[in-house]
Amino acid sequence: MSGALFPPGSARRTKRAVLLTVAVLLLATVICGGGAVLAANMLGLTGCEPKPPYVSAVQNDARRVASLLPALASGNPTGTPAGSAAPSGSAAPSGSAGPSGSGGPSGSAGNGSADAGPGGIATVHYHFRDSAPHTCPQIGVIGTVHEGFAQLTPERAEALRGLRWTPADAPAVPTDLQQFAPANAAWQTNADLDKATGATILYDPASRTVYFRIRTD
């Protein structure tokens, strides 16, 4: 009876098939695992490593902001093209730090008067950050976003009174900058000023405070 169900040699063939299947599975596991390790090592050799956007400490360099937003700092607030030279006598803009942390302004928030800028900007509190996370491989260009608050001098605030302002919603301020936002601000916007500066500009006349956000590549 057993001979009819299991012909001679069938048990050996079944055993060989099972062993062959196990061997193939083990080989596939080794190859796939080795490939993953090799890929990880190759990414490490090329310096490709996903990481979140770099964010600086809070800065108070008013000259830097004046060089980024010359139309806001002095001159015609709706007629100076973005990216034009900073006002005469101002320091050349220093390079902002990227993910490597080199070349940017140092120090955390402090007394802005020590770094008061030219023209109509009295004090500032802002940070700069990468515009996007670092991916692997990197897709697209990562720029630098400067965002924060600038308080204008009374003279510069008076010069902005002639613009046609419209009410605006409050900005979504990053946590590290919220302490510098004016209380009960009545934010206003002007399309011509945004165009002239190449930035998002909101203005609270009562506190003479400007919220700004500008990206540079």
Q: Where are the domains of the chain?
A: 2-45, 62-216
Number of CB atoms found within 10 A of residue 166's CB: 8
Distance CA 117, CA 139 (A): 36
pTM, rounded to two decimals: 0.63
Task: State whether residue 27 is helix, strand or coil.
Answer: helix
List the beta strands (DSSP E) in 35-143: 121-130
Question: Distances from the Cα of 92 to the Cαs of 70, 72, 85, 86, 111, in angstroms?
Answer: 12, 17, 9, 8, 21
> What does the pLDDT profile of the chain (217 residues) look like in tens digits?
555 555 656 666 776 776 677 666 666 654 655 555 445 554 554 567 889 999 999 999 999 999 999 999 987 787 544 344 333 333 333 333 444 433 343 333 333 333 445 679 999 999 999 999 988 888 888 999 999 999 999 999 999 998 999 999 999 999 999 999 999 999 999 999 999 999 999 999 999 999 999 999 8
Alpha-helical runs (H) found in the chain: 2-5, 10-45, 62-68, 70-73, 154-160, 191-197
